[in-house]
Each structure stands twice: as structure tokens, then as C-alpha cells.
A and B are shown apart, each in its own frame.
Chain A
């Protein structure tokens, strides 16, 4: 194993790609397509989904009922990705997503997880002291709002649909999407209108 770890990464990747092609498991074109899909996924896609849910009640209902099919209909490729669940924040309930076992993250809609999401500190504290944890982002929930921590332990991936901030009546979808940050869809922060 240590010999493997010392090997040049590019050489290793080249050997792996060669084997995938030689064994007929994945063509170079398929590998390139998957790389491109992975690179394209970013929090901007999640923000677009959130903004649409804020402005289109029918879309919102479908999104909450079946995240995978609903975002796929928006043109976000979900083939081969784990099913997507969407957690709706309300005035009474705020969601916070964590993966205590590793770093499961809804990559198809949010891209690569932020570094802190994978840290042992975040994973341990999210389930033990969620309010203290999000306070470090400056997030303090209003009195009367409960917090629900969602631990991604198995086959689903979860994203949060945050509350639409006050003072955004009449905003366009694009303007709303620009308000939504990565942390809002994990639940460590909440979107605010400037």
C-alpha cells in the first residue's frame, strides 16, 4: 500500500484509465463525460433550484415530493447519482445536514463539499451541539424555531430548501438565486436580503 501511495498520481490515474478501457468497464469518452459533469456541478445549481422553489409553488411541491426527478427535469443530470431529498425549512423548523460517517454530500446539485463539511469537528459537533456550531457562522435561530439535524448515513443525499428572506417580494428568479449560498443549502447559514 505504501508503494501505491508513493506513486505519482498522474501515472496511477493513467494506469487506472487504461485498465478501465482495456477491461471494457468505461471508455475514455465516458470518463471524460463524467469528469465534465462533476466539474459543472456547483452551488449555483442548488441556488437555481431554491430560487425556482421560492417562486413556483407547484415546482416546490414536486421538489419536496421527489427531488431526483424534479431537478432532473430542470436539466441537472442525476443518472448514477444517489437519490436527492430536499428538506424544507419553515418558521418552526430549521434543518442542518451532516454526514457523521464520512462526507456524503448532494454533489449532483451542490458540487464538491466545502472543506469544513468533511472535518471531524463539524461532523461531531453537528449532531451533539448544532446550535453552538451554527452560531460560529453567526446563525442564531429565532425563538420558537426547532432544529433538526439530518445525518446522511446511507443512500440518500440531502439539501436544505431555506426560507425565502423577507424584503424580496417581486424579485426575479435570477436575483433570488444570487442570494443563496452553499451554507444556506447545508443549513449552517440562512439567506438574507441586503
Chain B
């Protein structure tokens, strides 16, 4: 994947692997399908989705992504936000 520069608007994939069978994912349900902004690249780490099953785990870029509270919750407060660590394969440019 090409690197996502800070400030890039991204959407989190609206995917629910838990509906298809056993899995281990680090993308919380409340951000799936939602839009945020890349704050910075935190590094590259072995993909926990493979590590959890003792499979070979390729390193994936991990980003800090910021979401406005109002983009996540109907009663979110303007100006407040959330920072979530998300792996590159969950992010698509918005």
C-alpha cells in the first residue's frame, strides 16, 4: 500500500470478519464505515490478525487516525474527537 500522509482523509472499511468465522481484529466496531483523518504513521508491526492464529504475520503500517466525535455518535460534541490505532489494510482514502 502507498503510505498515507498526515492529513489524508480516510474511511475505515465497513467489514465484519467476525460474521464470517473465527478471527482476531483490532479495528473497533464503532469506527467501521466511518471517516477520519490520518494524524501520523506510528510504525509497522506484525499483523495481529495473523499473529493471533500463529500464522506468518507480515508487517503492516499502523496509523493514528482522528475521528470527530460527531462523525461517530449522534450526540457527539463538536470539537471533541478520538484517536484510534488502525492498520493500513483497514483504511481507504475517502
Give the B-binding residues of A (Cβ under 8 A).
Answer: 83, 85, 100-101, 127-128, 130-131, 146-156
Contact = CB atoms under 8 A, between A and B. Distances in A.
A154 B85 contact: yes
6 contacts: A100-B30, A149-B83, A151-B83, A154-B85, A155-B48, A156-B42
Interface in B38-62: 42-43, 45, 48, 62
A153 B81 contact: no
A148 B80 contact: yes
Contacts of B79: 146
B87 A154 contact: yes
A154 B48 contact: yes
B8 interface: no
Contacts of A151: 28, 82-85
A156 B85 contact: yes
Given A83-B43, A154-B48, A148 B84 contact: no
For the complex, would chain A's binding face be called helix, strand, loop or mixed by DSSP majority? mixed
A154 B28 contact: no
Contacts of B73: 128
Q: How large is the interface on B (under 10, 10 to 19, 20 to 34, 35 or more residues)?
A: 20 to 34
A150 B84 CA distance: 6
A101 B84 CA distance: 11
B89 interface: no
B80 A155 contact: no
Interface in B1-53: 26-28, 30, 42-43, 45, 48
A155 B28 contact: no
A155 B85 CA distance: 8
A127 B30 contact: yes
Contacts of B66: 148
A104 to B, nearest CB: 10
A95 to B, nearest CB: 8
B42 A155 contact: yes
A128 B69 CA distance: 8
Contacts of B30: 100, 127
B83 A155 contact: no
Nearest to B73: A128
Contact of A131 (B26, B77, B85): B77
B91 interface: no
Contacts of A152: 85
A130 B80 contact: yes
B27 to A, nearest CB: 7
Nearest to B29: A100
B65 to A, nearest CB: 10
A150 B85 CA distance: 9
